[in-house]
A and B are shown apart, each in its own frame.
Chain A
Amino acid sequence: MSQILGLAILFLLLNLVAGLWRVARGPTGADRMLAALLFGSTTVAVLLIMAEWMAMPALRSVALLFVMLASIVTIAFFGLPTGDDER
């Protein structure tokens, strides 16, 4: 079981690296912002698997915090749609 969890982590990290190619290449700024999404979802999965793998429940709390920050980061970056529409 332990090796399988380790392999899953490795796989997800490689996946993240592959995705970074798109982020580095662009071409638009929005493509680079996709990094926030990609990092968010992959890191959370990796942290959760690590919590099980290394028997460190505290990492689950780290994942929880991370996923809460993920939406706040994008909102901070773009701002909520206000002013020009009726929200």
Chain B
Amino acid sequence: MSASEWVAVALLIAGCFFYLAGTIGLLRFGDVHSRLHALTKADNLGLMLVCAALAMLSANWRTAALLVLVWLLGLLAATVSAHLIARHARRGGD
């Protein structure tokens, strides 16, 4: 494997690790809001690392741009969803 492939593998493993951490937080934290912290922040770091790994593997700037776009939209989805779910939970809706 080439050097860039090694870097990509390292990034991919790191990304999977953050996905795992997010899920562990989701299972362990005691209240809805704390679980939201775990999911939004850890999963988006995971997505960022996975996207970075795949961009290195594809070695194509257009694919890389698409991956960046996916990541940015993922961030947007996470913040919007987190805010709406948090608000819903705090206002006692069910």
The answer to whether A and B belong to the same complex is yes
Which of B19, B70, B88 contacts A12 (CB under 8 A)?
Answer: B19
Determine the chain B residues whose CB is within 8 A of the CB of A16 once the complex forms.
23
Which of A21, A31, A42, A60 contacts B63 (CB under 8 A)?
Answer: A60
Tell me whether A48 and B76 are in contact in the complex, defined as CB-CB below 8 angstroms, given that A4-B9, A30-B32, A41-B46 are known contacts: no
Q: How many residues does chain B have at the interface if contact means C-beta atoms less than 8 Å apart?
A: 48
Contact B19 A42 (CB under 8 A): yes
Q: Would you call B77 an interface residue if the criterion is a C-beta within 8 Å of the partner chain's C-beta atoms?
A: yes
Contact B12 A71 (CB under 8 A): no
Q: Chain A interface mostly helix, strand, loop or mixed?
A: helix
The docked-state distance in angstroms from the alpha carbon of A75 to that of B73 is 14
Which of B5, B40, B54, B89 contacts A48 (CB under 8 A)?
Answer: B54
Please give the distance in Å from B17's CB to the nearest CB on chain A: 10
Q: How large is the interface on A (under 10, 10 to 19, 20 to 34, 35 or more residues)?
A: 35 or more
Contact B5 A67 (CB under 8 A): no
Q: Would you call A83 an interface residue if the criterion is a C-beta within 8 Å of the partner chain's C-beta atoms?
A: no
B49 and chain A: residue at smallest CB distance? A45
Tell me whether A49 and B50 are in contact in the complex, defined as CB-CB below 8 angstroms, given that A71-B81, A81-B87 are known contacts: yes
Determine the chain A residues whose CB is within 8 A of the CB of B57 once the complex forms.
1, 52
Which residues of A line the B interface, CB within 8 A?
1, 4-5, 8, 11-12, 15-16, 18-19, 21-22, 28-31, 33-34, 36-38, 40-42, 44-45, 48-49, 51-52, 57, 60, 63-64, 67-68, 70-71, 74-75, 77-78, 81
7 pairs from A and B in contact (CB 8 Å cutoff): A1-B1, A8-B13, A41-B22, A41-B46, A45-B19, A45-B50, A74-B81
Going nearest first, the 6 A-B pairs with the smallest beta carbon separation are: A30-B89, A70-B77, A71-B77, A41-B43, A74-B81, A78-B84
